[in-house]
Structure 1
Amino acid sequence: MEVRVLGRVEYLPTYRSMQDFTAGRTADTPDQLWLCEHPPVYTQGLAGDASHVLAPGSIPVVATNRGGQVTFHGPGQVVAYPLLDLRRRGYFVKEYVYRLEEAVLRTLAEFGVTGHRVAGAPGIYVRLADPFSHAALTGPARPDQPFDGLGKIAALGVKVSRHCTYHGLALNVAMDLEPFSRINPCGYAGLATVDLSTIGVPTTWTVAAGVLGQKLAALLAA
């Protein structure tokens, strides 16, 4: 898989490039992994509810064909776009999503942080009180508050067309988190959003992108 580090690129042209790459693929087209960051932008999933966009202000809102609801992209966030032929790699979408999440979990572990999955809510979360604790989640004290005590550090939103993937995941490294307060992140009102910086991990976009790229390349292998 070819890994391309794009740096900071506008969202909409990158989205269109993913679509063009996927539409023009043949059975022999090598898979690619794009790593980048975007200027501030909100992106809305295909079946997204517009009511989850509360007060975007001057930040543009772009409708996309990925799964999921609204999220925010901005400088200081590593965005990974795997462009894979799943049929050639030999696994299905559910396994693909699991591998994406596992790559984030292993990336966080490199920085001493324990990430967690939450059933029915794709993405990766950390304990706000102790993100370095290795204890497993035991479930929320209240079933109506599944994110009690948790903050979301990575979001997922994928698209599969003719067995080929695009869109992907976003890992928050060191960014301005305020724009997340203007939406219901991923459709969940009041969901806290964090990055590595706010939980006490001083690292750079370049370092985090390098680690995440390595974990994705290994875990997305055939």
Structure 2
Amino acid sequence: MIVKTLGRVDYLPTLEAMRAFTAARDADTPDELWLCEHPPTFTQGLAGKPEHLLGPGDIPVVATERGGQVTYHGPGQVTAYPLVDLRRLGIFVKEYVFRLETAIIQTLDGYGVTGLRVGGAPGIYVRPGDPGAHAALTGPIQGFSGLAKIAALGIKVSRHCTYHGLALNVAMDLEPFLRINPCGYEGLETTSLDKIGVFTDWPTAAGRLAERLSAQLQP
């Protein structure tokens, strides 16, 4: 997998570049992983409902073809776009999502943070009050009580090839998340590493995430 660090780039040109890469690739095209950071942008998924945009204000809203509802991208967030041929990798979409989440969980574990999956709600969650706790979630989760989302997923697959990806909150201004129902969940709390006591810089977090994603997305 070829890893490319793009730095801070506007969202729409990056989306157009992913589309172009995916449309032009063939069976021999190497997989790539793009790492970047976007200026403040709300992105709406294919089935996104307008009522989940509570008041975007001065932040632009971009409609996309990825799955999921509305989310926010902004400074202090590592956004990772794996451009992967699933057929060559020998896996289907469900396994692909599981591997993306595993890479995030492993990255968080390296910082002493326990990442958690919630059934039916893609992404990774943490316990803000006790981020290193290893106790498993038990019983139905009512309104994400005691949890906050630290990483979001939204993917698109075209001709067995993936684009869009995931976002890990590292050191963010979280106020824009209050302008939406994150990922379509009213009242869902979001957090970032710095808010739970983990202080790292963007290049370090991006490098660790890239390492885990590259390992997870090997044949």
> Which bin holds the TM-score, normalised by the shorter protein?
over 0.9
Counterpart residue number, 1:179: 176
CA RMSD of aligned residues (A): 0.7
| Sequence identity (%) | 71
Amino acid in the other structure paired with 1:173: V
How much does 1:39 deviate? 0.1
Counterpart residue number, 2:126: 126
Alpha-carbon distance in structure 2 between the residues aligned to 1:138 and 1:85: 35
TM-score, length of structure 1 as denominator length: 0.97
Q: Secondary structure at the match of 1:78?
A: strand
Counterpart residue number, 1:91: 91
Alpha-carbon distance in structure 1 between the residues aligned to 2:208 and 2:50: 34
Q: Secondary structure at the match of 2:194?
A: coil
User: Does the 8 Å contact 2:9/2:36 carry over to 1?
Assistant: yes
Alpha-carbon distance in structure 1 between the residues aligned to 2:151 and 2:82: 15
Amino acid in the other structure paired with 1:77: Q
Amino acid in the other structure paired with 2:149: K
How much does 1:139 deviate? 3.2
Amino acid in the other structure paired with 2:182: P
Alpha-carbon distance in structure 1 between the residues aligned to 2:160 and 2:193: 33
Amino acid in the other structure paired with 2:110: E
Counterpart residue number, 2:218: 221
User: Does the 8 Å contact 1:3/1:32 carry over to 2?
Assistant: yes
**Cα deviation 1:8-66 (Å, max 9, x = unaligned):** 00000000000000000111111100000000000000010011000000000000000
Counterpart residue number, 2:191: 194
Amino acid in the other structure paired with 2:192: D
TM-score, length of structure 2 as denominator length: 0.99
Counterpart residue number, 1:115: 115
Amino acid in the other structure paired with 1:62: V
Alpha-carbon distance in structure 2 between the residues aligned to 1:34 and 1:146: 33
Counterpart residue number, 2:56: 56
**Which runs of 5 or more residues in structure 2 are unaligned?**
none
Counterpart residue number, 2:72: 72
Alpha-carbon distance in structure 2 between the residues aligned to 1:147 and 1:76: 24
**Cα deviation 1:43-95 (Å, max 9, x = unaligned):** 00001001100000000000000000000000000000000100011101000
Counterpart residue number, 1:163: 160
User: Does the 8 Å contact 1:35/1:78 carry over to 2?
Assistant: yes
Aligned pairs for 1:200-219 within 5 A:
200-219=197-216
